[in-house]
Chains A and B, each alone.
Chain A
Amino acid sequence: MLLANKHKLEPSKKRSETQWHQAVQRLLKNKLAVISIGFLVFILLFSFVGPFLSPYNSNDVEVALIKNPPSLAHILGTDDYGRDVLLRLMLAGRISLTIGITSMILSLILGTILGAVSGYYGGVIDNIIMRIADILMSIPGLPLLIIVGALLSELKVSSDYRLYIVMLMLSLVGWPGLARLIRGQVLSLREQTFMKAADVLGLSDRRKIFNHLIPNTFPLLIVVATLSTASGILSESTLSFLGLGVIPPTPSWGNMINAANNLIDFQKRAWLWIPPGMAIFITVVAINLLGDALRDALDPKMKGR
């Protein structure tokens, strides 16, 4: 009797709360997740706090020290202006991490929602969204960026902010690819038995899409997340050719790698490109591990039965 009183049934919390709560717990128990979060935290600290610990200035142009190999004074050597590579690596992380992760999240959200909505409703809604997707996919990127660059220049937007505006714009124009992938999945998932069950239960459309369909696309989303983080980081350096990336002398992992893009530097001066390449590599690995861990954590609850 006492036990029964003690364990009175609590009023039902929202189903999602208990699910997430359990998921987080499982996540923390997952060794992989802990490692990946550890990686990410390390990289974030490295980039945002690290520079304060360096005795050097990111803009010290020292002609005599140009392209020196690693030494006690400069642990990772110096670059083509004689600046300390380690310091620039850390500062570059600020930009590259922000860009890579933000652009990934933005395009992920847009693409997933639009793709899921399109696949679920079909008909006119699907038609309109997909035709817009067709048009956006057909618009050539470079000319668009050149125009945007000119526009930003006309509006006298400071060069420091241009990168963020461009990234935002690219996410707004770049959702069609992911949307089509998600839509394809949803077209198939929509017909599976667990969705029929959801119908019978009388769940709202919103519930069905966000709580059932989208979570089942997680494996796909994780692959896209890791791929787009890496490409987001590297695409920043392509943007800089059009003046839409970071402006020198601000470093980014992408433009640090590009500075060594000739055979001679590549062979003889590995300290110029291995550090930024490794930084991107570690970031991508961390995001993937986290994604995998997240997927495993949410798995038993979400998979349609």
Chain B
Amino acid sequence: MKKYILRRFIHMIPTLIGVSVIIFYLFALMPGDYIDSNRQITAQRAHDLRVLYGLDKPIIMRYFIWVKNAMEGNFGFSLKYLESVTKLINQYIWNSFIIAIVTLALTWSIALVIGVYTATKQHSLFDRLVTLGVFASLSFPSFFLGLLMIKFFGVDLKILPLGGMIDTGSTSTGLSYVLEVIRHMILPVGILTFLSIGSLTRYFRSGMIDALKLDFIRTARAKGLKERTIVFKHALKNAILPAITLLAFELPGLFSGAIITEQIFNWPGIGRLQLEALSFRDYPVLMTFTMLLSFLTIMGNFFADVLYAVADPRIRLK
């Protein structure tokens, strides 16, 4: 097992390098570059600016310059914001993170409960309604729900804020600041949770139904074990493998920002920064941010592999 972990860890390095090359080329090959977004400037000026930003060098040279800088911890300056990329990303990414992590916690707990419950009461009315509810949440885009909730809770009932992270003109600090942010988080987290619960519930439900059909469950029931013990102690463990895989997928998601939700709620997250960087071809921001997410993706899959063996002792990883 230890050998496996060590080997896997080492393999991540060439993977990361490979990813960085592919991503760098991807961004560089996108048609139009940063200078193109300004239609007003003269060709001479455009040329001068390209030289200034180093955009006139061949792609492979630019890649190695980037790698050298990255090794020194210098991730460049945003072309658009004219600010250090790390500082820029830092300003926004934690706002996305707090929303994502609370959503993750809520989604997984609620989905688990509903998934398990509908699996034990398969074909009941509750199960059917939940199923239909899930499908409804999949068929209609998130936009609608967000707008509707804002109107209902913010304008009509006036009990929740309409957006932003803090009240307009607020100067609160310390605990009152924290409470204020929490108040503002309720709607975006609520909506994101509602949307993510759907698919997750389906996975848990399916896994539980399968687990409950296994032989040893029949034996356990025959032995007279309490249903609750059977469900939560024995069946659940068998349904856990897909859950591990899915949890690993969530890791990069914690930092990638929910673009539409952030837009609707004017939440200062990393989602909008991403889109802007993409449409303006802000290469330094794009590279750094994407590499961060790929690092998290690869790490997530690594952890999942290790956890498989922990969760199911029968698994032999070669």
Q: List the interface of chain A (C-beta within 8 A of B).
A: 122-123, 126-127, 130-131, 133-135, 137-140, 142-144, 146-147, 150, 177, 180-181, 184-185, 187-188, 191-192, 219-220, 222-223, 226-227, 230-231, 234, 257-258, 261-263, 266-267, 273, 277-278, 280-281, 284-285, 288, 303, 305
Cβ-defined contact, A261 with B141, below 8 A: yes
**Structural contact, B138 and A146, CB atoms closer than 8 A:** no
Inter-chain contact B206/A184, CB cutoff 8 Å = no
Q: Determine how close the nearest CB of chain B comes to the CB of A174; give it in whole angstroms.
A: 13
- Taking a contact as CB atoms under 8 Å apart, the answer to whether B249 and A177 are in contact is yes
Given A137, A222, A277, which contacts B139 in the complex, CB threshold below 8 Å? A277
Report yes or no: A184 in contact with B293, Cβ–Cβ below 8 A: no
Most buried by B among A127, A138, A185, A192: A138
B31 cross-chain contacts in A, Cβ below 8 A: 146-147, 150
Q: Is there a chain A Cβ closer than 8 Å to B199's Cβ?
A: yes
In the complex the two chains form, what is the Cα distance from A180 to B23 in whole Å?
22
Instruction: Select which of A135, A219, A261 is within 8 A of B209 by beta carbon.
Output: A219
> B304–A288 contact, CB under 8 A?
no
Question: How far apart are B5's CB and chain A's nearest CB, in angstroms?
Answer: 14
Among the listed B11, B245, B294, B314, which residue makes an inter-chain contact with A127, where contact means beta carbons less than 8 Å apart? B11
A residues within 8 A CB of B318?
122-123, 126
* Residues of B with C-beta under 8 A to A277: 139-140
B30 and A191 contacting across the interface, CB-CB below 8 Å? no
Contact with A along B15-31 (1 / 0, CB 8 A): 10011001100110111
B290 contacts A by Cβ under 8 Å:
yes
B18, A184: Cβ atoms closer than 8 Å? no
Closest to A190 in B: B315
Query: Which are the 6 A-B pairs with shortest beta-carbon distances?
Result: A138-B294, A191-B314, A122-B318, A280-B139, A230-B138, A281-B139
A176 to chain B, nearest CB (A): 9
Given contacts A147-B31, A230-B138, are A135 and B143 in contact (CB under 8 A)? Answer: no
Give 7 CB contacts A-B under 8 Å.
A134-B298, A140-B293, A181-B246, A185-B242, A219-B206, A231-B138, A234-B141
- What is the size, in residues, of chain B's interface with A at 8 Å between Cβ atoms? 56
**Cβ-based interface call for B184 (8 A):** no
**Bound complex: CA of A180 vs CA of B246, how far in Å?**
9
B314-A138 in contact (CB<8A): no
Instruction: Select B316's contact among A130, A150, A191, A266, beta carbons within 8 Å.
Output: A191
**A147–B206 Cα gap in the complex (Å)?**
38
- B213: Cβ under 8 A from any A Cβ: yes
User: Is there contact, CB below 8 Å, between B242 and A262?
Assistant: no
What's the minimum C-beta distance from A147 to chain B, rounded to whole angstroms? 6
**B278: nearest chain-A partner, CB-CB:** A142
CB of B120 closer than 8 Å to a CB of A: no
In the complex, whether B288 has a CB less than 8 A from a CB of chain A is no
Q: Pick the residue among A131, A135, A226, A303 that contacts B22 (CB under 8 A).
A: A135
Report Cα–Cα, A135/B245, bound state, in Å. 17
A residues in contact with B95, CB < 8 Å: none
B contact set with A: CB distance below 8 Å: 11, 15, 18-19, 22-23, 26-27, 29-31, 131-132, 135-136, 138-141, 143-144, 147-148, 151, 199, 202-203, 206-207, 209-210, 213, 215, 241-242, 244-246, 248-249, 278, 286, 290, 293-294, 297-298, 301, 304, 308, 312, 314-318
Cα of A139 to Cα of B293 in the assembled complex, Å: 9
Given contacts A122-B317, A143-B30, contact A266 B210 (CB under 8 A): no
Nearest B residue to A126 via CB reads B318
Q: What are the residues of chain A within 8 A of B26 when measuring CB–CB?
A: 139-140, 143-144, 147
| A261, B131: Cα distance in complex, Å | 25
Q: Select A226's contact among B202, B245, B278, beta carbons within 8 Å.
A: B202
Task: Give the distance to chain A from B69, nearest Cβ to Cβ, in Å.
Answer: 20
A284 touching B138, Cβ below 8 Å: yes
- Report Cα–Cα, A230/B139, bound state, in Å: 6
Q: Is the CB of B203 within 8 A of A138?
A: no
Shortest Cβ distance from residue A127 to the other chain B in the assembled complex, whole angstroms: 7
Q: Give the contacting residue for B143; candidates A192, A261, A285; CB below 8 A.
A: A261
Tell me, rounded to whole Å, the shortest Cβ–Cβ distance linking B249 to chain A.
Answer: 7
Chain B min CB distance to A157 (Å): 15
Interface centre among B140, B148, B294, B304 (most CB of A within 10 A): B140
Contacts of B19 in A (CB 8 A): 134-135, 138-139
Contacts of A134 in B (CB 8 A): 15, 19, 297-298, 301
